Amino acid sequence: MNWWANYPKIIRIFLYLCPAAPEQFFTEADGGIVPRKKMGLTFAPEAGSDRMRRVINKQLTEQEIMDTFTEVFQKGWLSIKLYFMVGLPTETKEDIEAVGQLVDKIRDQARKYSGKTPQIRVNASTFVPKATHPSNGSRRTPKKN
């Protein structure tokens, strides 16, 4: 028996955390954990395109994201929360459209592997440069009239 089986509240909190490397999520978290009720899982792809994820130094490809969600949906999770940023330096219209395309692909992945339509909550926050971030001094993508 795993030590965490005696701590259901810790498991509940743990399942809301997004690991640094999504491929580690099930290898580390799935060892016998069967919560009484499957809550939602939260992931932060941050950007819709591989190009924008490279710009913000998020070492995560679309293929890795889709592989993770394949496993998520195969294991019965259908409530997903996704976090993205918009207004990033060098962002283009195509990068913004890629957010919606990625969400559509994730939804289609759920239907393919679970046969059900998932509940997907999408949060898109605007980019605000921080003093400690490499993009400090960058301006948000200017609004075009």
pLDDT in tens, 93-107: 999 999 999 999 999
Which pLDDT belongs to residue 136? 58
Domains held by the chain: number: 1
* Residue where the block lists tokens 């926050």: 125
Domain that holds residue 56: 3-29+38-126
In a domain, 92, yes or no: yes
Would the pTM count as exceeding 0.85?
A: no
Which pLDDT belongs to residue 36? 47
Whether the pLDDT of residue 19 is over 70: the answer is no
Q: How far is CA 93 from CA 7, 52, 144, in A?
A: 46, 12, 11
In a domain, 134, yes or no: no
In a domain, 145, yes or no: no
Q: What is the maximal distance between C-alpha atoms in the chain?
A: 61
Which pLDDT belongs to residue 15? 45
In a domain, 143, yes or no: no
Radius of gyration of the chain (CA): 17
In a domain, 141, yes or no: no
Looking up residue 7, the CATH number of its domain turns out to be 3.80.30.20
In a domain, 42, yes or no: yes
CA gap 91, 94 in Å, rounded:
8
In a domain, 118, yes or no: yes
Tens digits of residue pLDDT in 27-57: 444 554 444 456 788 888 999 999 999 998 8
In a domain, 8, yes or no: yes
Cβ pair 35, 8 in contact under 8 A: yes
